[in-house]
Amino acid sequence: MFKRFIKPVYAHCDVPCGIYETDTMTHAAATCKRMVEKYEELKDDLHDHEHKNQFFRIVMTKEKHAQKCKDELYLLWSDYFKPEHLEKFPNLHDTFWQATKQCGKVKQALSLEECDKLIEMVHNISHMFADSKK
């Protein structure tokens, strides 16, 4: 009877658990680039159904991983970094804001250049995260 009212909920624990990492966002950004590379290999041969199907799967995977990267960035930004981190990283907010905006650019295009920008931004944030623990 109540089963129809039960919906899955997805959230970080907010205990706070203290378990944070940047590997997931790094992997997601790299996956976006790999999907664009696979598209580049395929783009001249989109006339048959199998190639069209593969094209759609590539784009859907890129979209999913760009959103995953964005979600992981938001999580780290909102849950891990605290006001006291601003002393060490005065441009922390802008850095994260720009990276989340870049995820949107990756979603909007099939561009290796945009993927490379995201990978670089995530790399820089990974270093900020590591440096924050010192």
Residue 96: inside a domain = yes
Residue 99: inside a domain = yes
Residue 10: inside a domain = no
pLDDT at 6: 64
pTM of the model: 0.87
Residue 53: inside a domain = yes
**Domain range for 122:** 21-132
CB-count exposure of residue 11 (10 Å: 0-12, 13-18, 19+): exposed
Q: Residue 117 has which token pair?
A: 């920008």
Residue 114: inside a domain = yes
Q: Residue 28 has which token pair?
A: 């997601």
pLDDT at 48: 81
Alpha carbon distance 102, 109 (integer Å): 11
In whole angstroms, what separates CA 115 from the centre of its chain? 10
User: How big, in percent rounded to 5, are the helix, strand and coil portions of the chain?
Assistant: 75, 0, 25
Alpha carbon distance 75, 16 (integer Å): 12
Residue 3: inside a domain = no
Q: Does a cis peptide bond (omega within 30 degrees of 0) precede residue 16?
A: yes
Averaged confidence pLDDT in the chain: 90
CATH number of the domain residue 119 falls in: 1.20.120.400
Residue 111: inside a domain = yes
Give the model confidence (pLDDT) of 56-85 as tens digits.
999 999 999 999 999 999 999 999 999 999
Residue 98: inside a domain = yes
Alpha carbon distance 67, 41 (integer Å): 23
Residue type at 119 in one-letter notation: I
Number of compact structural domains in the chain: 1
